[in-house]
Structure 1
Amino acid sequence: MTNQHRTIPGEAGKDEHSPPTPASLSRRTVLQLAGGVASLAALPDAEAQSLPSARTDITAVEPVRLIVNGVSRELEIDPRQSLLDVLRETLDLTGTKKGCNQGACGACTVLVNGRRVVSCLTLASMYDGAKIETIEGLEKNGALHPLQEAFIEHEGLQCGFCTPGQIMSGLGCIAEGHASSPEDIRFWMSGNICRCGAYPGIVAAVADAAGRS
Structure 2
Amino acid sequence: MPPDPLTLEREFFARLGRLERGPLAELRRTLADDQPGDSGQWLQRYIFLSGLERGNRRMQFLVAALYALIERPHDDETEEEAADRAAREGKSLGWLLGTLYREQQERPSTEKRFLALLDADEEALPYQLRQAVALLKGSDVKPDWAQLLRDVSGWSVDGWGEEVRRRWANDFYRAALPPRQKTEAEDTPDSTPTPEAQA
TM, length-normalised to structure 2: 0.29
Larger RCO of the pair (alpha carbons < 8 Å, separation 6+) = 2
Q: Which has the higher strand share?
A: 1
Larger radius of gyration: 1
TM, length-normalised to structure 1: 0.28
